[in-house]
Structure 1
Amino acid sequence: MAAEDSGIDNNEKKFGAFGGVFTPCTLTILGVIMFLRFGQVVGQAGFYSAIVIVLASKVITTLTSLSLSAIASNTRVRGGGAYYIISRSLGVEFGGAIGIVFFLAQAISVAMYVIGFTEALASTFPSLADDTLAIATFVNIVTFVCVYIGAGWTIKVQYAILAVLGAALASFYVGTVGNFSMSEFKTNLLPHYTEGENFFSVFALFFPAVTGIMAGANMSGDLKNPAHSIPRGTLAAVAVTAVVYLSMAFLLAGVSTHEELITNNLIVREVSRWPVLITAGVFAATLSSALGSMMGAPRIMQAFARDEIFSWLNFFGTASGKSHEPRRATVLTFIIAQCCVLLGDLDAIAPIITMFFMITYGLLNLATFYEAVTKNPSYRPTFRYCHWSLSFLGALGCLGVMLLINWPVALGSIVAMAAIYGSIQYREIEARWGDLQGGVAFERARRALLRLEDTAYHPKNWRPVVLALSSSAWHRPHLAIYGQWLTSGHGVLTLAQVICGDVEKHAERRDSYERSLRKFIEKEELQAFSAVVVDAYLSDGIESLVQCHGLGGLKPNTVLIGWPKTESKSEAFGATLRLVARLNRSMICARLLLDEEISDGQYATEDREAMLAEAWEIPNGTIDVWWRGKKNGALMMLLAHMLHQNPDWRHNSIRVIRIVPSEEAVEEVREHIVQLAAISRIRVEPIVLVAENVPLAIQVTSQNAAVVLLGFESPAEGEEADFYQRMESLIGALPRVLFVDSAGGMELES
């Protein structure tokens, strides 16, 4: 199932900013904490600190709401709310981690609101105090059934609940304004923390009250226009509820003692003009919040499961009915909520939810920050009132609050997130949607290339940027493999192919060959790029590749090409060598007698697979560098060193070999090689031979070498055949030889 099908995307989307976002957000924010615990917040922290707690919470949620609004108006938001937004921005790893955490946060929130309802009911009717677990279970079941029927019916019920909540607040304001005492207010200005409590523990108790900003985003799959409704509805809910909480803090501080505020969970009801309306408001608010979370959590799980990040969760991605209700995920939410209901402690659940929501909010701010700061061209939100600095502050605020509330739990939560992230990354799950990581990588690459442009041309910074003319790579894999060995961890490798013919006629063929090269790179796990060009002549295609491929400091400085197998190809080969030399590029010609062509028709699939595996086998023996001077010697030494740096080549020692005409020169030349090795910091074994028959000396000395590096100069026009015969006679039957022609640019002393 395509990831872009996550959530609901049909004609049943019918809710606007008020019904689909403002109402569920407001009812969730003005919920159980407001009625049952806000008096304790004011009593413990005092008026001043209570205002700070409310404002700090609102600053974090406002910054997060701005980030949410920006990113929601930048993409087509489907089902899944914050999970969908974060996963499509930060990628599958962060998406998977946040999907689990956010779902659990919403599911546990159901239990918090159900417990709050039960607590209020037992306080109103003391005879029910012994049956709170049964009542909470019954309320949880009723909430589950309501949501199981469908979101449309549930949202309509919330309109009535919003009216009841408005009446309850009116009752509170009328009652407290009439009984407000300035002397009582002054005694409640400063904190009166009980044993074990402090500013941050009270903050952790209050913060879940303002986490309802996601209630509307969680319904993104049921909105007519999420990009329009989410910003307007969410910010309106944040503003309205901020006024409510600030005014309530002021009034509560002036109508009761701090002892009463701390110990009486129903103080809001007792100071109201019509207590029955508060009772109704408590019931309405807690039930509506439970309904909101019970609606949101399954939609997160449904979107998460449909992305197929964890196969064992795919079962919960199934939609039911014409409105695509996530009923399987709703059952799972009910079970988790019921397990938490069995705990029965509102004060224990609230801090857990705080941590979960803080992580979610922090990552949402981080996603928006990265979208903006990397200047991603696709980041064009219609909501204009969010800057990257605000998103960054929001992310820092979330992290800071987590650490200040309970740093061990905060660090444990971060470690758990990192473990989920690492698990998804280790399993190499492929996202089927674009994410921000590509944009971040692009921005880093862009800046790095600009810096590289200023420094890349110093000999100290020379690295092999190899253009391997490897035909289709499948047929002559040794070239690609040696290119990988020579550049892995050191440089950049491109596998290139030239198609001779007309561009218009071979456009589709070019795309096919490039896909084939990429498939080979992926299958053989090469760190390489692919490049295919179409040109009328082979030499013109090579010239185009050498001149135009690459960017800035990453343009090819070395061309890797196969050695011709017959003299008949020597003329064209010599022309290619001269062309590369004129373009001031170094040349490596690989003469690999074992590099048989592995064509599709020539061998069975299993035989070709075996030959590819054999191509990766490291030959036994030494890496022999035949030294004749610095013109090609520096590059040969560096290539030998980079080959030796590969873990599989570590057992192949490097030998630097030179032939001298007499015994008198042996010690002097040996000392020269030793000094050269010391200056270049490359460990080598110096060998000096006295020989008149140079070809025989090379062939005998290196007959057991793993690979031989030998310098050459490009042949003059008309001398291609002589050049080919001379080089062939020089090495005879040696199976693995790399001929090297250096264009300079590197220094062993650097």
Structure 2
Amino acid sequence: MKRFGTFSGVFVPSFEAILGAVLFLILPLLVGQVGMVNMLIIVVLANTATLATGFSIADSATNLADVGGGGMYAVSKQSLGRAFGGSIGVQIYIAQAVSIGFYCIGFAEPLEPLLRQFAPAAAIIEQYGLSSLQTRQVIATLFAVVGLIVALVGADFVSGLQMIILVVLSAAVLAIFVSPLMNPTYEGSRLFAAAPNLTGSGVRIGFAAAFAIFFPAVTGIDAGVGMSGSLKTPQRSLVIGTFAAIGVTTAVYLGVTVVFGFVDPQLLLPRNGQTVTTLDLFSQTPVLPLVLMAGILLATSSSALSYFLTAPRTLQALIADNVMPRQTGFLGRDFRAGGSEPRIAALLTFAITTGVIWSGDISFISMVVGICFLVVYGWVNFAAFLEHISGNPSFRPSSRGHWLISLYGFLLCLGIIALFNIWVGIAVLAFQVTIFSLILRYKTGSQLEGVWWGALFALMQWLFGRMGKIIQGTKNWRPIVGTFAFHDRPNQIDGMLEMGKRLAEYKGIVSMHVLADRGEDDAEIELRTPTTAHVLRYNGDSVNTMLSGIIQSVPAAGFGMNTVMLPVDPRFDAASLIEYALRLDKHVLLYKPAGMTEVDGVTRYNRIDVWWKGAENGSLMALLAHVVRYNDMKRKQTPSRIRFLRKLWGEESTDEARREMQELLRVARLDGEVVIIDQDDQPIAATVCSYSSDARLVFLGLPGKPAESGKAAGSLTRFFNIDRKIFQKNFEPYAQMPEMLFVKAAHVLDLRE
């Protein structure tokens, strides 16, 4: 049921969570150590992190029709997806539940010495032999039980208590502000000096250490945001309530820092190893100690109660979104039939709280939880940053945030994590990555949701724009391959898809197109077509016309194919298509699938054979062979051995030809074995079959000669005029050969680059 407004649902929980133990127990020491000026800077800098997070929350929340329960998890999952958002939600819940234990200990801290002065309580403590730590643990546990009971009663009751706490806490803060008018004494000296303590005194703890100690004080906005599922108008309340809480509490911390800046710095030095608190400073002043004690107790109790409400709701939201394992579904339920309060989740939260209380020294756990909150705040900022830069039309928040603000919040959170403990930060991030991986695998089918596609699209769009202003040249050449296969040849599709990956999966881009006649059955086509391929329909003999249009088309990003791979198939006029592609300066590969796996009982070896006749096709073939070998290695396959074969013609010398090839490979920085074949009367097909029948892949250049200068279409001055007779001959000599790529280069690549 959504029943809370901006003030009671967001402002009050955040206000009370921010103004806690640090304000009353630690701030005087910090001001005394680093001085008023440095402390004012720390307060402002720390609050910029929460202010940036507030803007990011506003951007995300006002872009949602329904925020839902879960607080920061709810606003982040919409942008980062269920898997990544779920990993954040799990982290938030753990941090919230553990934080209750800290606040319970904070509640017990000032009560423990008072109880020892109360005779009945002192007798019980002495009877059981409780140490100071054990006494605080007992007090904290009893308070946790009270908090659980209050949480089980319901959010309405807690909200009513928080209103009372707000009044007392405000009175305690007001008491600090009016204390200079009373000018009380402490340890025989006037508390306030005539001049402010601007630079600090005593043993300095340092600016960075002071910042790390103070920062957790300003992170309480999660207490209000966590009530998102119970707000009447969450989009409005989350924005106004969060900013109001940040603004008011920042003003309070700045004002109190100025007040403590006028305290005699000598009175702020630790006494007997104990930190001087506001209770100590005003111990000799009438009424003020009682008001401050009430403020401290109620501030810590309010924070604990706030998280007793928000933590179970975060877990309930995770369960409702099917992020948690199915077996945990009962945790999101209520005791009562038809009830909506997460009362069972509250019991689990109490169990975690009790474990924290009795864990002993909780200082390390406190740091870990503080880093968890920082990681969450960082991702909330990063989510808003991604939404801004993605440019998705769906991102239409009514707030006025800017991507720089969100980026600043994200980077500042990372910096503060490093300031706390970079190794613990890495461990927390590793835990989150583990949770993300589990949710991604078992809950979302390994599919990322959210803004990621839009952000990557925006990045690619920007990069493509920059690439259009850069001359590519041979040095930057990469295969951008468009492959085309007929749908009624499954072996052809499978072979070309695999070959396309070997050519371009890691060094370029490959797109698979399946050609299907319009009269063929849709279901049959879908059955035979890989999910990564695009189906292209053609009418009868119009396949050449369609392919010509596709080859010359330019994608929206201007990232068109530079290489076309076609099957050896009689259904299109390969000669005209190749000639047309060459006019467009696109390389052409004709693919022939493998024949028998063995020839004359000889098993084929993991070898690539490149038949060299010259640089016109040879340079491209050499480069493609190198790319295939590299991609095979990246795919965890045994790397292919490359062999360059050259058959002598005319008066060529064997030694001279070998030296030329070896020098070419050296200059081109290519690995490979050189094989020189003596001239004979055999046709090239017979020679190729004789030497390469035991290879895995064979590159062979297509014959042809350059057209005469000025005869090319348009402004082109050079293209290869294919000898059409080659396509009238039968490919039968190569039928039993391994996979072959017949290559025709549109231009010569300079292997020296």
Q: Would the TM-score normalized by the shorter structure come out above 0.5?
A: yes
Q: CA deviation at 1:692?
A: 0.9
Separation in 1, partners of 2:622, 2:643: 9
Query: Shift of the alpha carbon at 1:110?
Result: 0.9
Residues 65-464 of structure 1 mapped to structure 2, 5 A cutoff? 65-75=54-64, 76-90=66-80, 95-125=85-115, 126-127=117-118, 128=121, 130=125, 131-171=135-175, 173=177, 177-179=181-183, 184-186=192-194, 189=197, 197-252=205-260, 257-259=267-269, 262-264=275-277, 266-267=279-280, 270=283, 271=285, 273=287, 275-307=289-321, 311=325, 314-315=328-329, 318-320=332-334, 322=338, 324-343=340-359, 351-384=367-400, 386-404=401-419, 406=420, 409-421=421-433, 424-425=436-437, 429=441, 430=444, 434-455=449-470, 457-464=472-479
Partners of 1:81 and 1:217 within 8 A in 2:
yes
Q: Secondary structure at the match of 1:461?
A: coil
1:548 aligns with 2:553: yes
Deviations 1:535-561 (A, max 9, x none): 433223322322226455631222222
In structure 2, C-alpha distance between the alignment counterparts of 1:123 and 1:171, rounded to whole Å: 23
Deviation at 1:593, TM superposition (A): 4.6
For 1:651 and 1:315, the matched residues in 2 are separated by 52
Instruction: Give the match's secondary structure for 2:681.
Output: coil
**Does the Cα contact within 8 Å between 1:306 and 1:314 map onto a contact in 2?**
no
1:136-187 CA distance string (max 9 Å, x none): 1111012122223433332233223223333444555555533368872347
Q: Within the alignment, does 1:666 sit opposite 2:671 as a pair? A: no
Contact 1:173 1:272 in 2 (8 A): no
CA distance in 1, matches of 2:262, 2:579: 93
**What's the counterpart of residue 525 of structure 1?**
none
> Are the structure 2 counterparts of residues 228 and 264 from structure 1 closer, same or farther at C-alpha, using a change threshold of 3 Å?
closer
DSSP 3-state at the match of 1:726: coil
Q: Gapped runs of 5+ residues in structure 2?
A: 126-134, 598-602, 708-721
Pair 1:538–1:39, CA change in 2 (3 A): same
> Paired residues, what number?
693
Match of 1:680 among 648, 658, 668: 668
For 1:295 and 1:450, locate their aligned partners in 2 and report how far apart those are by CA, in whole Å. 50
Secondary structure of 2:687 counterpart? helix
Distance 1:552 1:351, change over 3 A: closer
The answer for the alignment partner of 2:497 in structure 1 is 480
Shift of 1:18: 1.0
Secondary structure class of the residue paired with 2:235:
helix
1:188 is displaced (CA, Å) by 6.7
Q: Deviations over 1:18-63 (max 9, x none)?
A: 1211111112122333344444444554544443443333233223
Q: Select which of 59, 72, 75 maps to 2:48.
A: 59
Contact 1:111 1:341 in 2 (8 A): yes
Partner of 1:497: helix, strand, or coil? strand
Question: In the alignment, is the contact (CA less than 8 A) between 2:480 and 2:508 conserved in 1?
Answer: yes
CA distance in 2, matches of 1:638, 1:348: 56
Q: Distance in 1 between matches of 2:153 and 2:402?
A: 41
Corresponding letter in the other structure for 1:451: R
Q: Deviations over 1:185-219 (max 9, x none)?
A: 34772577776945444444433322211211111
SS of equivalent to 2:641:
coil
SS at match of 1:534: strand
The equivalent of 2:132 in structure 1 is none
Q: Is the 8 A contact 1:114 1:290 kept in 2?
A: yes
Corresponding letter in the other structure for 2:414: L
TM-score by length of 2: 0.81
Say if 1:533 and 1:456 are closer, same or farther in 2 by CA, change over 3 A: farther
Distance 1:60 1:274, change over 3 A: same
CA drift at 1:292: 0.6
**Higher fraction of helix:** 1
1:538-577 matches, within 5 Å, as 538-548=543-553, 550-551=555-556, 554-564=559-569, 569=570, 572-574=573-575, 576-577=577-578
- CA shift in 2, pair 1:341/1:656, >3 Å: same
Deviation at 1:74, TM superposition (A): 2.6
CA distance in 1, matches of 2:449, 2:259: 50
Q: Which residue of 1 aligns with 2:507?
A: 490
Cα offsets for 1:649-675 (capped at 9, x unmatched): 62433232324256x643443333333
Q: Distance between the aligned counterparts of 2:214 and 2:579, measured in 1?
A: 77
Aligned-pair distance for 1:688?
Answer: 2.4
- Structure 1 unaligned blocks of 5 or more: 1-11, 522-529, 597-617
